[in-house]
Every structure is written in C-alpha cells, then in structure tokens.
Amino acid sequence: MRLIARYAKELKNTFEIVTVWDEIIEKEQVSKENPCIKTLTKSHPSAIWFERKIHDDFGIIIEDAFDNRPLVAQERFPKSVYPMRKSFQEKNIDFADYHPYKYEAIGGDGVFEVAVGPIHAGIIEPGHFQFSQAGEDILHQEVRHFYKHRGIEKMLETKTLFEAKPIIERISGNESIAYQLCWRDIVLKATKSKLPENNRKYHALLLELERTIHHLTDLGFIPNDAGFGAALAYASKLSEEARRHLLTIAGHRFGFGAIDFKSHKLDTEALKHYLDTLEEAINFFETWIIDIPSLWDRFDTTGILKKRKAVKYDAVGVIARASGLKLDCRENDFYHTHGFKIQGQTSGDVSARFKVRLDEVKNSIEMMRNFSVETCEEVSLNSINNGVYSAFSESSIGETYMSIEIKEGKIERFFMRDPSFINWQVLHLMMPGNIIADFPLINKSCDLSYAGNDL
C-alpha cells in the first residue's frame, strides 16, 4: 500500500492516530497517560516527518524511529509545549535555552559540509539544505524546513468551513485552486449536496489554468538554472499572460476566492483565442528547447530518482510520473471524458521532469477547451452535518490531501498534506553522484512548496 498521511488528533480521553493509505484508513487509540506508537518507517521511510510532527504537536512518543529530532519545533522552542493539544491556548511562548540541531553528516578524509540557507540570495522562502561534499561531488544532502510555521491547523479550529476558506486558499500560492477544490468537495460531502456538471467543468478549467501557470514558470526556470536565461524570459511571459487570464476569469491573479457555489459567466471566445495563442507559443517553445543539445547534456542523467525509490518513499506528482509511476488524482471518468491523458517518463532525471511538465501543459490546453462552458449556476447547499470528511486534488506539484472533522458546525480538526511534505523527503535521493552546482537545477525540476509543506 502507498502511505498518504499520518497524523494525530485529541479525543476526550485518548489521542487518535490516523494513518491514511491509498486503500484504507487505519485508526489507533493511544493513552494520554503514556502516549506511544510504533514507527512505520521500516517499511515507509516517508512516515518519519509525519511521526516527528506528531511528537512535536502532541508529545506522542514514536517507538523504534530512526530519527527523533524535532521537526516543526526550532532550536529555542520549549520541549514541554505541545501546541496541538486542546489545553494549549497561549498567545505567546517564551524562548527556551538553545538546543543545537544535529545535522546528518558523512565523515572521512577530505569530506566537508556546505550549508545553504535558510536565508537565500533571492526572493525565496526560508529553507535549509545541508550537504556533505567530497570536492564538488555531493555525498549526502539533508533538507530542513519549517522556518515559517504559521499554526494554521490550530488557527482553523472552531471556525466554520466558510470562515476557514480564505485561510485555506492562501496556504500555498502554487496550489490555491487545488486547495479550494479539496475544500469544495468537503463542503459538498458535509452538506450532502451535488455540484452541477457545468460548475464542475468550470472549476476543473481553473485548476488546469493554475497548473499551466506553474508549469510554464518551471519550464523557464529549469533551463535558466542550466545557464539558458532566454528560456526563462520567454516562459515567464507566457506564465504572466496565463496569470492575467486567471485574473480575468476568477477576479484574482492567484485564484483566491475562485472556487465557490455562485453562478458565473465565461467569455468562451476570449478563452478560445487565448488557448490557440498559448498552444502556438508552447509548440514553438518545445521546438526551440529540444534543439539545444547543451541543455539536454545538463538535463539528462542529472538528479535521477529510480522508480523503486519513488515507490519506497511514496513519491507523488510530477516527480513520481517522471520516474515511471502512474499516479494522478485526475485518473477518473470525468477527466478522461474531457481529454485527460496521464503524462509520464521513465528516466527519473531533470530531463524527464521537464518533459512531463511540457506534455502536461499541452494536455491542459486540450482539457481547458473541453471544460469551456458559457455559464454555471448557483448551488443551494444543505445544512452541514457533523463528521470527518476528506478530499483529494491534483495540484501542479502533485496529490493534495485534506481532512476536516466537523463538530457542531465548527472545525474540530483540520489536517492538510501537501505533496511537498512527501516529495521534500525524496529530494536527497537525487543528489549523490551529482555536483553541488547542479543542486539548483535538480531542486527547481521538482518545484516544491515551502509554505504548503509548513502549515
């Protein structure tokens, strides 16, 4: 089975550990007097971040884990404070004594460490990358993030679904529409309401436009990190045009507030003209880039993720599909009817991840044509029922999972697993055998979210 998520929530007399697999959901009750669970990391290494976060949030001990270091809690965070417990209501926390974070390192003659971040020379969110090096060759890399923890899971407790929406859709700018679609599906399940076909098409159109925006950005930045800045200039122009089109349709450049239950009208002629223009531009871009051997010399065999490693670490999204895995939340009758075809490669390198994005943009153009509807109608929702509801969507980065528990009309527990929370743990597997100068190229070919990773 594939591990999707593992998280905890507090009940009246116990903690409950929820483990979400692709086939089943398992729940385990844990005593509050001696909270302790067994690790899953021997069979699923990606469980380690989930389990470290469970400890930081709730103080639950993870038995037999190979890594018991804090994940979310930074060096001066008090050891006895567990912010996701219901009893924690403080607005401010006093700093504790400094406890150094011990990074993984490889010893040996001539081996040295290189620290990159968390502050970077550019407009980028905070994240730390620790390398063990032998000359230019990367021996090992460790990723450490969670510098911008905003307490969103705690923040959303006691809010209604509609009060929570402006926060949910702003968690990660790369994936606002994808997050909103998860929220939409949870609202529909909680109210036992149905969405008309035209509304579903309209929302799917917005998701594909969001995907196109971010894939175009990546298609520029990946060649740029191989020294070919002209590709970034061209692709950035296309990405900006797509974002302006999202503004025209949805009223916001990042799609905030785009997914709702109101009626909408769409200028289908303007959309058709835009998609025709974009298709011509992306075909030119592909012909141009394919014919630059020096780029492919940098892309090919750089940052390889083997299929067996992608399976072992539960990789998702473009990273998984570039390594030969057929994983995509759009694999259903609705999407297939409207032109969806899963895109994939097998080499698992920068080249494969670039090609998957290029092919997905072309497929998104086809789908957006098929999703074009002149109007969608206002939807009347029934009253919200108590319960635990979950939903998936396929963002530009990969599979997004959301779970919300409703109690007396308010959010009792909010949990969100961004694809980046899984895929950041995969990044280090791509590094050995490459030189440190190729780290930005490999990293950008994955295009992971810092904000979505750290709620």
Return the sign of the alpha-carbon dihedral for residues 392, 419, 354, 252: positive
- ∠ CA 349-352-355, nearest 5°, is 150
Secondary structure element (H or E) that encloses residue 288, with its range: helix 268-290
Q: CB–CB of 356/215 below 8 Å?
A: no
| Average pLDDT rounded to a whole number, residues 28-37 | 94
Which tens digits make up the pLDDT trace of 39-70? 999 999 999 999 999 999 999 999 999 999 99
How many residues are given for the chain? 455
The correct CATH number of 152-446 out of 3.60.15.10, 1.10.645.10, 3.90.1150.10, 3.50.50.60 is 1.10.645.10
The phi and psi torsions of 277 (rounded to 5 degrees) equal: -65, -45
CA distance 108 to 131: 14
The pLDDT of residue 138 is above 80 = yes
CA distance 221 to 440: 10
User: What pLDDT sits at residue 166?
Assistant: 98
| Average pLDDT rounded to a whole number, residues 162-174 | 97
Domain with CATH 1.10.645.10 in the chain: 152-446
User: What pLDDT sits at residue 91?
Assistant: 86
Q: Please state whether the peptide bond connecting residue 100 to the residue before it is cis, i.e. omega within 30 degrees of 0.
A: no
Estimate to the nearest angstrom the gap between the alpha carbon of 163 and the chain centroid.
23
Half-sphere exposure of 227 (CA within 13 A, CB side): 10
User: What pLDDT sits at residue 444?
Assistant: 95
Find the radius of gyration of the CA atoms of the chain: 22
User: What pLDDT sits at residue 124?
Assistant: 82
Q: Residue 84 — very low, low, confident or very high, per pLDDT cuts 50/70/90?
A: very high
Number of helices followed by number of strands (H, E) in the chain = 14, 13
| Average pLDDT rounded to a whole number, residues 283-304 | 97
CA distance 450 to 455: 9
Which tens digits make up the pLDDT trace of 107-116? 889 999 999 9
Strand, coil or helix: what is 287? helix
